[in-house]
Chains A and B, each alone.
Chain A
């Protein structure tokens, strides 16, 4: 798998008059080409610092960051990226078309090539109809979509999105999600920074969770949300014995059993015990935690979530 972002020992320490503030401790991270990667963390965790470092907006105290082999401080690396910042302030005195022309020009595009690309991205984000409308009259959702269009103008290999669905209604969020899915299918790598954990869980392939400038957890989103050794069994009939091996809870109303089984053998011992008690199994599934549960647990330092993902 080709590495799109390669971060090695990247750190940032801010100096103010009285003290040194270690916003980001040395971090190693790889983001693969074509994946959607989520960066999570509470306020002050160092997410914004990390994004700014990756965009070359601030200089690192130590370490390096390469985008497809190019050092991020080079203009070549910036030709490969698109960026939609959080709390962006697009020029309100321009209309959508003028704004895209401005940012397209800054990216080095001009003339018919730029006009053709503007038509394409406006169509892609469903904003063609509103291209001549002043940006100050755009709704929040339209603002995000035109922002996404500007980030896509240069056909980026890597797209940075800082809180892309913040303040947008559910329909707007779904539209953005669909756009990201299409981009992913076209091979664009997407790096998302978001507070909306349910959104991140829906769209990302892998995540990293930052706390106090340190990556406390990273891995495949699916694996992270899978609870280790825990299962949910739903019964279609019968009652489980109180001595069922590994049973942690039983809900008589929903007929759901929560079970801990350290190995497949242990799980089968429990299933055999259920059958011996004339229980009829309806479903068996591994217990899933939401990303939000994991995040909250990590922030409150619950040790069970700090172990590496399988």
Chain B
């Protein structure tokens, strides 16, 4: 246990020493300060005052609507920003570990390769969780204190974000082990997040208009099911924030399975790698 803990702690300190970690932290802090200023402004306070439950709206539906729209906007922006920064922060953790002068010393210690990789991956995951929680918890508290309404949907959206990252982190680790470079993994993840997944998510509106062959449509649908469904997860996040019922849970399992599969592949590949 002490070995895994040491690896997680060291990975955390490695991430902490990077400028991109500080950028993430400063962006989050700036976002929280702006939100605090906005929520403290007399205009916002007046709006909240006017939206308090009345005889016509005893359940405070209008206030909840206002809150949902604010949290939904925040969560959409944060989902995208957090994924970009999380990918950048964690992209070089595994390749850095595999550089000459680092890996030889680590492999000379009495710990298995699987444990080494697991500790490194958990360390990166912990970094992203802490940074994500920092912003989400902070913004949730600011909004709740300013409005007096404590909703759970916004905080629950933490889970789809983390599960989405889990799936992408698996790809990042595997590509990092194969290529020993952080760039290839980053490029593939960004392609998935900003091109492949949105296209496949909207395949019926965007692709099936020009593709009429059943074969190609089936193939496109198969690719959709076999790639991380990031756009679907963004949709789920939005639904959770707006306290809508989530009916399609397949993207959850897709991301979880994707992460698990790629971490297993990574462990297998890492255990056979020669340095």
Contact = CB atoms under 8 A, between A and B. Distances in A.
Contacts of B214: none
Interface size range of chain B in the complex? 20 to 34
Given A57-B275, A58-B275, A105 B107 contact: no
A106 B104 contact: no
B3 A105 contact: yes
A80 to B, nearest CB: 9
Contact of B107 (A55, A91, A98, A102): A55
A52 interface: yes
Given A58-B274, A78-B109, A105 B102 contact: no
Given A52-B275, A106-B7, A108-B2, A93 B108 contact: no
Given A59-B274, A88-B101, A93-B14, A75 B110 contact: yes
Contacts of A187: none
Interface string A17-29: 0000000000000
User: What DSSP secondary structure best describes chain B's contact surface?
Assistant: helix
A79 B109 CA distance: 7
A117 B110 CA distance: 18
B47 interface: no
Contacts of A98: 13
B181 to A, nearest CB: 16
A94 interface: yes
A71 B104 CA distance: 18
Contacts of A107: 109-110
B17 interface: yes
A106 B106 contact: yes
B264 interface: no
A31 B51 CA distance: 83
A62 interface: no
Interface size range of chain A in the complex? 20 to 34
Contact of B14 (A91, A105, A106): A91
A124 B105 CA distance: 21
Given A55-B104, A89-B101, A106 B3 contact: yes
Interface of B: 2-3, 5-7, 9-10, 13-14, 16-17, 99-112, 274-275
7 contacts: A83-B105, A85-B108, A87-B101, A91-B13, A102-B6, A105-B3, A106-B109
Given A75-B112, A103-B105, 16 more contacts: A56-B107, A57-B103, A57-B107, A57-B274, A58-B275, A78-B108, A78-B109, A81-B108, A85-B104, A85-B105, A88-B105, A93-B13, A93-B14, A94-B10, A106-B109, A160-B108
